[in-house]
């Protein structure tokens, strides 16, 4: 079974792109399944289910969804094997821009859209910088020039990824993306595999439920803002 | 790569000024004189790299990739595409598509056919340089040969630029800044001259004129389309331009096409507008997912085009009169 991790900022088009890919996987006679990791709520499971594939949803609540992902992906992989899936896609909402679900040896995809502005690629951390494929969506509503400038910025943030333009609505580019999914390596197990980039240490008192503000309530891994001298 | 690490930062910044921007994307300010680049990156603490979400090895790989790209853009002309060839596959029911169609630089081809017939699929096959690996089984050759598969993902050698009715500018910049930014991403030297040229050309295509100081998001539909076309003509490296329905765009369609032709683009346009369709040298009729027929625009059709244009002008002048409050009562 091929496991594929899909990350990307909220509403960038991850589900829309995956829906089109899943349709063409089905046309090849392959069995796909999906797992969605999100924070509070998601309706993506309904979208995947409407395509007739099995789905699991994991809600991380007050944890970072990517931290939650690492602790649970092995379980989901086993679930995929139990259903004899050919391809298991794991979609996670990249909420904190610093974590990423990408694992060494597992095909890693990051989905971003043209509307986010040219500064976005540099603001997105490891989920973009360590992806094998960067999918850019919503090219149908911006100008050719903006697409070119945006892709150039993506290249600057990740020199090695394959950069693809896919339209989440019409599916243009999705069969091409599918052909890359078909070449993904198999993932027989995850035990012992490693993340491409460490997740930040989220262990301060606020991680543990503290709500009061003030020095005396801050414990653990605390980092101070560096205030610079500024002229009035 | 190794040699760049041994360069003094000050020397490097004057030789390759773009590295300053590259590093500032990662929040790294190269201001320490005296260090070589290698020493500088080496002395940054581990948790600095943790914070910026990248490790030193990957950062160096990205720098290497960036410098390569710079080099490609500055020193090599994109491999010259002089023609592309579409070799037929099959239609939706599997009937073979007996077509071998060569499209050369500076030519205009229109694509017509009902909704869902496969016009966009044909354009997508060209963009992807299909090699019997799309639903149509078509094969695309470039300069008569099978293109290098890696070119599919190359930003520098993208075969296709696209224009359509639905596209808008979304960036928060002024026209001149915007064009300069596009030129910069192409590493073009004399950006100022190009900015002036593009604005002048776009104003020839659009009805009402705009300046370099107009915010791009404030352009009207027609002005946006005009700027997109002029920008594509001057700044896009892609030899093929795909146009999806620009009939209602409010621009001078004839001038727009002739600008693209003058810049030696291979123009393909999906359209329902008879004037646009007849402006092309040939048109492809798409039916059930396949190219059903290829019609060369006849001399008689070209004559009719002149009459259609007259009609169109008449309608336009009626429109102008309506707008200015006149009655349209003559019989
Ligand atoms: N115009 C246009 N809209 C798109 C495209 N791709 C996606 N969208 C729209 O963008 C919106 C968000 O798409 P989703 O696929 O739900 O995004 P997502 O990344 O899965 O979002 P979350 O799972 O909530 O993080 C939807 O309304 C899509 O229809 C595209 O290529 N073009
Ligand atoms: N030869 C073919 N074999 C199989 N499927 C095809 C073939 N040609 C086109 N299709 C599929 O048919 C569908 C409709 O095609 P497409 O979107 O290109 O139509 P269109 O002519 O652009 O329509 P519209 O005018 O509505 O934009 C797409 O899903 C496309 O992949
Ligand atoms: Mg989603
Ligand atoms: Mg179409
Ligand atoms: Zn996180
Ligand atoms: Zn915390």
Burial class (CB in 10 A: 0-12, 13-18, 19+), B266: buried
Question: What is the average pLDDT value for chain A, to the nearest integer?
Answer: 87
Instruction: Please name the helix (run of DSSP H) or strand (run of DSSP E) that holds residue B12, with its range, or none.
Output: helix B9-15
Q: Could you say which DSSP state residue B282 is in?
A: E
Taking contacts as CB-CB distances below 8 angstroms, the residues of chain B near A144 are: 161-163, 167, 228, 231-232, 236
Question: Domain limits of chain A?
Answer: 2-182
pLDDT of residue B1: 61
- For the Cβ of A140 lying below 6 angstroms from any atom of ligand 1, the answer is yes
Question: Domain limits of chain B?
Answer: 4-75, 83-297
Strands B240-244 and A133-137: unpaired
Closest ligand (CA of A140)? 1
Q: Could you say which DSSP state residue A69 is in?
A: H
SS3 for B297? coil
User: Look-up: residue for tokens 């090895």?
Assistant: B57
ipTM score here? 0.77
| Residues lining ligand 2, Cβ inside 6 A | B 90-92, 113, 115-121, 135-136, 289-290
Mean pLDDT of A97-109: 89
Strands A133-137 and A162-165: parallel
Highest mean pLDDT among B52-56, B154-158, B275-279: B275-279
- For the Cβ of A93 lying below 6 angstroms from any atom of ligand 1, the answer is yes
pLDDT tens readout for residues B50-101 = 878 788 888 888 888 888 877 776 665 556 889 999 999 999 999 999 999 9
The arrangement of secondary structure in A2-182, i.e. its CATH architecture, is 3-Layer(aba) Sandwich (3.40)
pLDDT of residue B230: 95
Q: Cα-flanking dihedrals φ and ψ of residue A39, to 5°? A: -90, -65
Question: In terms of Cα–Cα distance, which of A225, A181, A146, A133 is closest to A24?
Answer: A181
Whole-number Cα distances in Å, B182 to A17, B17, B158, B191: 27, 18, 15, 9
pLDDT of residue B249: 64
- Between chains, do A126 and B53 touch, taking CB under 8 Å as contact? yes
Q: Which CATH class is domain B83-297?
A: alpha beta
Residues in contact with A64: Cβ distance below 8 Å, sequence separation at least 6, in sequence order: A95, A96, A99, A199, A202
């Amino acid at each position: 079974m091929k496991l594929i991790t899909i990350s990307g900022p909220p509403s960038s088009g991850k589900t829309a792109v995956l829906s089109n890919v899943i349709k063409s996987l089905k046309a090849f006679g392959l069995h796909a399944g999906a797992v969605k990791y999100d924070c509070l709520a998601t309706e993506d499971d309904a979208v995947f289910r409407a395509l007739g594939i099995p789905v699991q949803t994991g809600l991380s609540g007050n944890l970072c969804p990517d931290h939650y992902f690492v602790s649970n992906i092995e379980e989901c992989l086993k679930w995929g094997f139990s259903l004899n899936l050919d391809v298991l896609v794991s979609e996670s909402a990249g909420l904190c821009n610093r974590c990423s679900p990408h694992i060494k040896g597992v095909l890693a995809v990051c989905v971003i859209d043209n509307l986010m502005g040219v500064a976005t690629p540099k603001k997105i951390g490891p989920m973009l910088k360590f992806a094998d494929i960067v999918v850019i969506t919503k090219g149908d509503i911006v100008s050719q020039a903006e697409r070119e400038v945006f892709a150039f910025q993506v290249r600057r943030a990740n020199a090695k990824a394959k950069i693809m333009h896919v339209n989440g609505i019409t599916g243009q580019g999705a069969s091409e993306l599918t052909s890359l999914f078909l070449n993904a390596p198999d993932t027989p197990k995850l035990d012992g595999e490693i993340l491409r980039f460490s997740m930040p240490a989220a262990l301060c008192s606020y991680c543990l439920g503290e709500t009061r503000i003030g020095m005396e309530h801050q414990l653990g891994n605390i980092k101070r803002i560096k205030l610079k001298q500024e002229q009035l | 790569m190794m040699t760049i690490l041994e360069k003094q930062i000050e020397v490097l910044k004057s030789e390759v000024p773009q590295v300053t921007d590259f590093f500032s994307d990662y929040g790294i300010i190269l201001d320490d004189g005296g260090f070589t680049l290698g020493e500088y990156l080496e002395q940054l603490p581990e948790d600095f790299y943790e914070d910026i979400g990248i490790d030193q090895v990957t950062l160096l790989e990205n720098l290497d990739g960036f410098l390569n790209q710079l080099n490609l853009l500055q020193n090599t002309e994109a491999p010259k595409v002089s023609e592309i060839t579409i070799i037929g596959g099959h239609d939706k029911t599997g009937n073979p598509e007996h077509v071998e169609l060569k499209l050369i630089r500076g030519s205009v081809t229109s694509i017509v056919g009902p909704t869902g017939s496969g016009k966009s699929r044909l354009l997508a096959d060209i963009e992807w340089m299909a090699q019997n690996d799309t639903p149509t089984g078509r094969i695309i050759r470039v300069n008569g040969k099978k293109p290098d598969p890696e070119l599919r993902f190359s930003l520098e050698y993208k075969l296709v630029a696209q224009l359509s009715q639905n596209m808008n500018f979304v960036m928060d910049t002024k026209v001149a800044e915007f064009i300069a930014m596009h030129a910069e991403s192409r590493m073009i030297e004399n950006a100022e001259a190009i900015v002036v040229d593009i604005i002048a050309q776009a104003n020839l295509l659009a009805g009402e004129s705009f300046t370099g100081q107009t915010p791009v998001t404030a352009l009207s539909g027609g002005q946006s389309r005009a700027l997109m076309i002029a920008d594509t003509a001057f700044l896009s490296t892609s030899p093929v331009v795909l146009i999806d329905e620009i009939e209602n765009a409010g621009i001078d369609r004839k001038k727009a096409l002739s600008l693209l032709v003058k810049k030696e683009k291979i123009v393909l346009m999906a359209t329902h507008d008879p004037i646009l369709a007849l402006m092309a040298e040939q048109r492809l009729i798409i039916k059930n997912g396949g190219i059903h027929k290829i019609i060369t625009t006849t001399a008689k059709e070209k004559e009719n085009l002149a009459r259609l244009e007259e009609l169109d002008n008449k309608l336009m002048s009626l429109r102008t009169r309506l707008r200015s409050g006149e009655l349209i009562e003559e019989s």
